[in-house]
Structure 1
Amino acid sequence: MTPRRIAILGTASSGKTTLAEALAERYGTVWVPEYLREFVDAEGRVPVAADQIHIARTQRAREDAAAPQAGKYLFCDTTPLMTAVYSRHYFGGIDAELAVLADAHQRDYALTLVTAPDIPWVADGLQRENEEVSVIVNRLLLDELAARGIPYLLISGDPDQRISQASGYL
């Protein structure tokens, strides 16, 4: 059985990882961590424009690799669409190959959850984002979803509330 891929999108420090991990535990399945964190840790730097396609490809490849181990759901802590949003913000546009990967969002994810930036913001190591940038990126994400006609569920509140909200749509 092919798992239903659940996209979990949001800005830095908005609870994506916590939600993905908790939902995977609740539903007895696996989740795919955000590759960007690993990239920043391994490289010791923030990505540049040329890194964006590698980050998105790797994120997608890890989803594909995790799918055979998943149960009914595969929870994805970000997707290439989020990489495209960051690329637009930080580098002024989305490269053509990244745009193709981001376009797959509409056909490949059964549900898109967006984590609201309503929890205390915590710096994330070398990540360059701060609370003010998170507000901007959140707006860009919501605009991108609207422009692509991608329906989403905004998840907010404390961790238990978020799990409950998401579970109501699974």
Structure 2
Amino acid sequence: MSASAWPLRIAILGTASSGKSTLAAALAQRHGTLWVPEYLREFVDTHGRVPVAEDQYPIARTQVEREDAAAAHARALLFCDTTPLMTAVYSRHYFGGIDAQLEQLVDQHRYHRTLVMAPDIPWVADGLHRECEQVSRIVQDLLLEELARRAIPYTMVQGGLEQRLAQVDEVLGC
């Protein structure tokens, strides 16, 4: 595990429009700490396009660099809106596989807890992102397959924001 033991990093995974960012921000506010926004959003806005295969590792690496920078200023918990694993899932779906560098980054980077957003809130299109509601369902299945393949335990978080916050607090023992 390349991530330091402190603060505890909490991975928040899920497809587009599953509530990751909303939950991460709310959890950070609730616990008086920081959250790391999904770099992919910034990448798409900055470049004005969706990523190609060659962008996958740099996107995941930048996500980890931002986590590491935030960890230096976070309190006991750091909420991570996506991880290299999610980038790997998208690589598998859109590009037919996970390149060696990205695979290594995923293997080296672990989290204290992994939360998966249930696809139970209304789906909303997200700018230039290429994903549609049907693709989101496919990606959700691929995510669960990757978690099982890598033997990463996770908690499925569902319901409205207040329900999700309560579920996460229970998982974290808060």
Match of 2:66 among 57, 62, 67: 62
2: CA distance, partners of 1:130 / 1:116 = 16
Q: What CA deviation, in whole Å up to 9, does each residue of 1:117-150 have, x standing for no partner?
A: 1100000000000000000000000010001100
**Which SS does the other structure have where 2:50 is aligned?**
coil
Match of 1:13 among 11, 17, 20: 17
1: CA distance, partners of 2:127 / 2:75 = 32
**Counterpart code for 1:89:** H
**Which SS does the other structure have where 1:6 is aligned?**
strand
Report what 2:122 is aligned to: 120
Report what 1:37 is aligned to: 41
**Which SS does the other structure have where 2:153 is aligned?**
coil
**Counterpart code for 1:96:** A
2: CA distance, partners of 1:103 / 1:118 = 29
Equivalences for 1:8-157 in 2 at 5 Å?
Answer: 8-105=12-109, 108-157=110-159
TM norm structure 1: 0.97
2: CA distance, partners of 1:15 / 1:2 = 25
2: CA distance, partners of 1:158 / 1:146 = 26
Report what 1:169 is aligned to: 171
**Counterpart code for 2:8:** R
1: CA distance, partners of 2:147 / 2:107 = 11
Identity of aligned residues (%): 70
Size of the aligned set, in residue pairs, is 168
1: CA distance, partners of 2:80 / 2:108 = 14
How many Å apart are 1:104 and its aligned residue?
2.3
Gaps of 5+ in 2: none
2: CA distance, partners of 1:72 / 1:42 = 32
How many Å apart are 1:36 and its aligned residue?
0.1
- How large is the Cα RMSD of the aligned pairs? 0.8
1: CA distance, partners of 2:87 / 2:105 = 10
**Which SS does the other structure have where 1:127 is aligned?**
coil
- Stretches of 4+ aligned residues off by more than 6 angstroms: none
Q: What CA deviation, in whole Å up to 9, does each residue of 1:76-114 have, x standing for no partner?
A: 000000000000000000000000111124xx3000000
Q: What CA deviation, in whole Å up to 9, does each residue of 1:14-63 have, x standing for no partner?
A: 00000100000000000000000000000000000000011000000000
**Counterpart code for 1:78:** T
